[in-house]
């Protein structure tokens, strides 16, 4: 067991974890943040995408102990003061989801993509979302949502 300190969505937590605990299991099982999903559990599907120190990564392929001292943001930390994050709002407006299972990871990946590249081309959106699988939408409305955010003046 190792004691770690971790900041999740602005709140500091101190936890004893088994060294082999995955970050996603810490988030879901110990902190109760079940918005981060486990899809494939093999770092393919991207459902478990969260931000660690500002970068998107797959929380099923990182140990909780590796996040010791880190700032983590999950889907629960996106809406502020009852107002959806612009990426969440765009997904709603564009009907960029059907079953919704991939959506938390998609939102986190899209937010990170737009942070690096605020005005991506279609090709750059496809390439930028290669780490996230959606089995419902065919991606058309997801790409539409990304463009809506990119075109909205902020």
Partner 1 sequence: MFEFKYLQAKTLSEAGAFVAANPDAKLLAGGMTLIPTLKQRLAQPSHLVDIGGLPELQGIEVKDGRLVLGAATRHQEVAASPVVGKALPALAYLAAQIGDPQVRNRGTIGGSVANNDPAADYPAAVLALGATIVTTRREIAADDFFQGMFSTALEEGEIIVRLSFPLPQRAAYMKFPHPASGYAMTGVFVAETKTGIRVAVTGAGPGVFRWSDAESALAKKLHPAALDALAVAADDLNEDIHATREYRANLVKVMAKRAVQKLLEN
Positions touching partner 1 (CB under 8 A) are: 2, 18-20, 41-44, 46, 49, 55-58, 61-63, 65-66, 68, 109, 112-113, 116, 128, 130-132
Select 66 or 152, whichever has its Cβ closest to partner 1. Answer: 66
| Residue number, 83 or 123, with CB nearest to partner 1 | 123
Cα Dmax for the chain: 47
Q: Which of 110, 76, 119, 113 is nearest to 91 (CA)?
A: 110
CA distance 1 to 152: 47
CA nearest neighbour of 107 among 151, 22, 48: 48
Nearest-approach distance from CB 52 to partner 1, in angstroms:
8
Yes or no: say if 6 and 15 are a contact pair by the CB < 8 Å rule. Answer: yes
Nearest distance from residue 1's CB to partner 1, in Å? 10
When the beta carbons of 33 and 70 are compared against partner 1, the nearer one is 70
- Shortest distance, CB of residue 149 to partner 1, whole angstroms? 17
From CA 111, how far away is CA 73, in angstroms rounded?
11
Whichever of 16 and 116 has its CB closer to partner 1, that residue is 116
Q: How far is the CB of 65 from partner 1 (least distance, A)?
A: 5
Taking alpha carbons only, the member of 42, 61, 40 closest to residue 52 is 61
């Amino acid at each position: 067991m190792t004691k770690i300190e971790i900041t999740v969505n602005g709140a500091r937590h101190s936890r004893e974890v088994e060294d082999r605990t995955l970050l996603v299991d810490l988030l879901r099982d110990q902190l109760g943040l079940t918005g981060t999903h486990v899809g494939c559990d093999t770092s393919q599907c991207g459902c478990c995408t969260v931000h660690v120190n500002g970068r998107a990564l797959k929380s099923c392929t990182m140990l909780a102990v590796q996040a010791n001292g880190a700032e983590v943001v999950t889907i629960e930390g996106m809406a502020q003061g009852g107002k959806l994050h612009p990426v969440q709002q765009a997904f709603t407006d564009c009907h960029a989801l059907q079953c919704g299972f991939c959506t938390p990871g998609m939102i986190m990946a899209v937010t990170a993509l737009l942070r690096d590249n605020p005005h991506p081309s279609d090709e750059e959106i496809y390439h930028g979302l290669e780490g996230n699988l959606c089995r419902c939408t065919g991606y058309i409305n997801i790409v539409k949502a990304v463009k809506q955010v990119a075109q909205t003046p902020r």
